[in-house]
Amino acid sequence: MVDAHETFVIVGAGLAGAKAAETLRAEGFTGRVILIGDERDHPYERPPLSKGYLTGADKRDSVFVQNTAWYAEHDIELHLGQPVVHLDPAAKFVRLGDGTTLMYDKLLLATGSEPRRLDIPGTDLAGVHHLRRLAHADRLKHVLTSLGRENGHLVVAGAGWIGLEVAAAARGYGAEVTVVESAPTPLHSVLGPELGAVFTDLHAEHGVRFHFGARLTEITGQDGMVLAALTDDGEEHPAHDVLAAIGAAPRTALAETAGLDLVDPAEGGGIAVDASLRTSNPDIFAAGDVANAEHPLLGGRLRVEHWANALNGGPAAARAMLGRPVSYDRVPYFFSDQYDLGMEFSGNAAPGSYDQVVCRGDVGKRQFIAFWLNEGRVLAGMNVNVWDVTDPIQRLIRSGRAVDPERLSDPAVPLTSFLD
């Protein structure tokens, strides 16, 4: 039974928002819980959009966080297909696109991020795509199926995780794929030059063509359809469809107009929150992609755009909203599946933060663990086709202790020995 003594409003019905609502009920909150999303679909997880669902390995229903009946059963009020157009922190209300006004006692902003757009001619053509929402994945899955059947060409702008996962899915359908990337290797800003080549070789073996050191300058077409993609070095790539996978930007417009503190884009952008995920307003919290949090373990601020941060950040914010002591210090984590390569990445090793990369295992066979070190301390670890090692890798990162790089590179030395 819900009583109306308090109302908690969650803006953003993605994984972070859904998990926050779930946690509020699990922690015994009996007030109103209102979950608002600007998509008509019930809350879903985003990794399958470029992985299992897109490849056809998983069914569409598998992406949803809960079944549709769960929300009513747990007295979660859903407002789907409704954007929040105004937030008034002083009067403590939000206004929806249909004019509905909802008062709140505590508010969680889990507005996520949105794909960056290509600022070039031709992006209004029918064959230009982004991948962020379930509707995007529905459309792209149909496109890849058609491209594979007709031996069509997909040009992917950007060799980040989304770009590479879609490239792998497209090759699985039989489509021809060209990836255009301004950096010299895939995932250059995440893995550096040392490990990016692993993914170059992987995709090249599966027939993907890379064009490094270039950017798209124009998408040409006829009768509203894509014909080719041009790059700034004068190349022309045949294309029936183009995917823009050049990153995402936090959705901060609502917070900005409400006067909440933001973080400069040069420092990751997003809504500034403390270690308890509280914003500059004591009754407003933020979680997931949009939150740039003080990180007690890693030091400084960090904004993380991955699944695990939404999965864990939503519940942490919910507990903080309830007045529980919260210090959100999770080690960043994400995973990727491409062809027969599966990997997990833990930690944070921004360019310039590390002085050494150490690998143990067989990099050539793509069965190894890579570690990014600074003065012997492990900042991050990536296990490729090696499993059940995430826990010791994260414990190594948490320990902050210096390790012997030579021993770390030896597969015969158990990772747990560095934690004794």
**Residue 352: per-residue pLDDT:** 87
In this predicted structure, what is the pLDDT of residue 142?
97
59-71: pLDDT as tens digits: 999 999 999 999 9
* pLDDT tier for residue 307 given thresholds of 50, 70 and 90: very high
Identify any residues that bridge with 37 across adjacent strands, giving them in sequence order: 80
pLDDT for residue 299: 84
Q: Percent of the chain at pLDDT above 70?
A: 100
The continuous run of DSSP H or E covering 137 comes out as: helix 134-150
Q: What are 302's strand-pairing partners?
A: 293
Write down the residue that tokens 């157009």 correspond to. Answer: 85
- Rounded Cα distance, 88 and 67, in Å: 32
326-358 burial string, b = 16+ CB within 10 Å, else e? bebebbbbbbbbbbebebbbbbbbeeeebeebb
What does the pLDDT read at residue 193?
81
Using alpha carbons only, what angle is made at residue 164 by residues 160 and 166, rounded to the nearest 5 degrees? 120
Helix/strand/coil for 27:
coil
CATH 3.50.50.60 in the chain, residue ranges: 7-114+249-321, 128-246
> What whole-number distance in Å separates Cα of residue 384 and Cα of residue 41?
34
The dihedral over CA atoms of 208, 210, 216, 222, expressed in degrees to the nearest 10, equals -40
Q: Which fold has domain 128-246?
A: FAD/NAD(P)-binding domain (3.50.50)
Per residue in 206-257, pLDDT tens?
999 999 999 999 999 999 999 999 999 999 999 999 999 999 999 999 999 9
pLDDT in tens, 320-370: 999 999 999 999 999 999 999 999 999 999 888 999 999 999 999 999 999
What average pLDDT does range 40-55 have in this prediction?
97
C-alpha torsion sign, points 116, 117, 120, 122: positive
What's residue 4's pLDDT?
A: 72
Q: Identify whether the C-beta of residue 131 lies closer than 8 Å to the C-beta of residue 215.
A: no
- Please check whether the domain covering 340-419 is classified as CATH 3.40.50.300: no
Which of 219-239 are b and which e, b meaning 16 or more Cβ less than 10 Å from the residue's Cβ? bebeeeebbbbbbeeeeebeb
The predicted structure's pLDDT at residue 1: 60
pLDDT of residue 420 exceeding 80, the answer is: no
What pTM does this model have? 0.95
Query: Per-residue pLDDT for 99 more than 90?
Result: yes
* From 28-37, 41-50, 190-199, 224-233, the region with the lowest mean pLDDT: 190-199
What average pLDDT does range 398-404 have in this prediction? 95
pLDDT at 194 over 90: no
CATH superfamily of 7-114+249-321: FAD/NAD(P)-binding domain (3.50.50.60)
